[in-house]
Homo-oligomer: A and B are copies of this chain.
């Protein structure tokens, strides 16, 4: 054991990986304001505002809209453990890492996951999904990832939800990387359960997971035959804590300061406006694309379903993945993401999320890559 530990002074990075993304200084400022009690009237008022602002961000009137007091993976788990019971069947579309994680969640609920597989880098094929729906009339839900962080692919969430609804399925959407970055319309698309993360296009610190359940999903939860296997994530308890039905029942202690930060990040999104934020993400993506193509780098995802906030860029032949990323980090304090799974060593993932989706970051990244690649 060391006799002394120094305070941690983090290096000042530019975060252009798959998240966390650059945090707006306004949010860091809000984060560090003095802590109040989690049952303080002032905090309860803040919780109500956070719910309203999340409804805005998700474009929903769902009453059950709130942040789970844990990261996105816990948000994912919240959705599955509350909606599923042992023996249920769910159609899970996978075209990257996070569809696979959904499958794990379904299995751990004692339910069955019917997988619709598409290649990494391609979107889910609607025909395949329809085939699966036809073949599984007993499926309770369709689950998929809106913005696949591992590949930079945008799945056609609107059409997928419409299809699922045609077959009377609940719709479960992973919006970890999409919320605030691209078009997302929970009520308009008939999404029944959705979760996101704070550290992507909301530019907030990591640690919370905004979620929302439709009235139909709430009915499913209320009519469960078995108890939710997680006490911490049990929505009947969590929603009572978040004031559903006008009451406040102690459940856990909310991460007070992180809620300050989320509130500020949602205020920023609300000030800019959803459409303007999506447009900015689209514009910055085009600027990055122009810059990277100019130095011979290629995008690996087709334009029609390419995410503006997560850019999958091919690593040129003969270029050593890790060496370049280490140089970017050490010499430029610039973080870009490695490829995941079958894309490891073959691609980089360059994030342009939220606050970090700006011209300064685009230029810096292009110039830094230009510099290290020409050596």
B8-A230 in contact (CB<8A): no
B255-A5 in contact (CB<8A): no
CB-CB under 8 A from A128, the residues of chain B are: none
B231-A105 in contact (CB<8A): yes
- In angstroms, Cα B20 to Cα A17, docked, is 33
Other-chain residue from B10, B22, B197, B260 in contact with A8 (beta carbon distance below 8 A): B260
- In angstroms, Cα B11 to Cα A81, docked, is 37
Q: 1/0 contact trace for A10-52 toward B, CB 8 Å?
A: 1111010101101100101111111111101111001001001
Does A371 count as interface, using CB distance less than 8 angstroms? no
Q: 1/0 contact trace for A253-286 toward B, CB 8 Å?
A: 1111110100110110010000000000000000
A254-B108 in contact (CB<8A): no
Other-chain residue from B7, B52, B256 in contact with A205 (beta carbon distance below 8 A): B256
Contact A8 B33, CB 8 Å, known A229-B108, A253-B71: yes
A352 CB, min distance to chain B CBs, angstroms = 15
> CB within 8 Å of B: which of A65-85?
69-74, 76-77
CB-CB under 8 A from A105, the residues of chain B are: 231
Does A53 count as interface, using CB distance less than 8 angstroms? yes
Other-chain residue from B7, B52, B109, B199 in contact with A1 (beta carbon distance below 8 A): B52
A231-B72 in contact (CB<8A): no
A206-B104 in contact (CB<8A): no
Counting chain B CB atoms within 10 Å of each CB, the highest count among A22, A28, A55, A340 belongs to A28
A169 CB, min distance to chain B CBs, angstroms = 22
Q: Which residues of A contact B (CB under 8 A)?
A: 1-2, 5, 7-13, 15, 17, 19-20, 22-23, 26, 28-38, 40-43, 46, 49, 52-53, 55-56, 69-74, 76-77, 101, 104-105, 107-109, 197, 199, 205-207, 227-232, 250-258, 260, 263-264, 266-267, 270, 329, 335, 340
Query: 26 pairs across A/B with beta carbons < 8 Å?
Result: A1-B56, A8-B263, A9-B33, A10-B34, A13-B36, A13-B40, A15-B35, A15-B37, A19-B253, A20-B38, A28-B34, A28-B257, A29-B32, A69-B74, A70-B232, A71-B252, A72-B252, A104-B231, A108-B227, A108-B229, A205-B257, A205-B258, A206-B256, A207-B255, A207-B257, A229-B230
